[in-house]
Copies of this chain bind each other. A is one copy, B any other.
């Protein structure tokens, strides 16, 4: 299986907070922390739990770039 999604970051689940409709999944990815807001249904079907190794996927159109050398352009 091959996927058009360019961005794949390996991480480990640090917490899963479930609401009725949505779930927030926090990950350690290298030195960074990432957070995903997905459906509760997805979180449950994947059986996401603390300590689990996962991959965070992000479509290239959803990545913004920030530089640190100037005022807000």
- Interface positions of A (Cβ within 8 A of B): 1-10, 17-25, 29-43, 45-48, 52-73
Closest B residue to A47 by beta carbon equals B67
10 cross-chain pairs, A with B, having the tightest CB-CB distances, nearest first: A19-B20, A36-B63, A62-B62, A6-B35, A30-B30, A19-B21, A2-B73, A4-B42, A21-B24, A61-B61
| Copies, count | 6
Contact in complex: A24, B41 (CB < 8 Å)? yes
Query: Which residues of B lie under 8 Å from residue A70 when comparing CB positions?
Result: 1-2
Closest CB in chain B relative to A22 CB, distance in Å: 4
14 A-B pairs with CB atoms under 8 Å apart are A1-B71, A3-B57, A3-B65, A4-B38, A4-B46, A10-B32, A17-B20, A17-B40, A25-B65, A37-B38, A38-B59, A38-B64, A54-B66, A54-B68
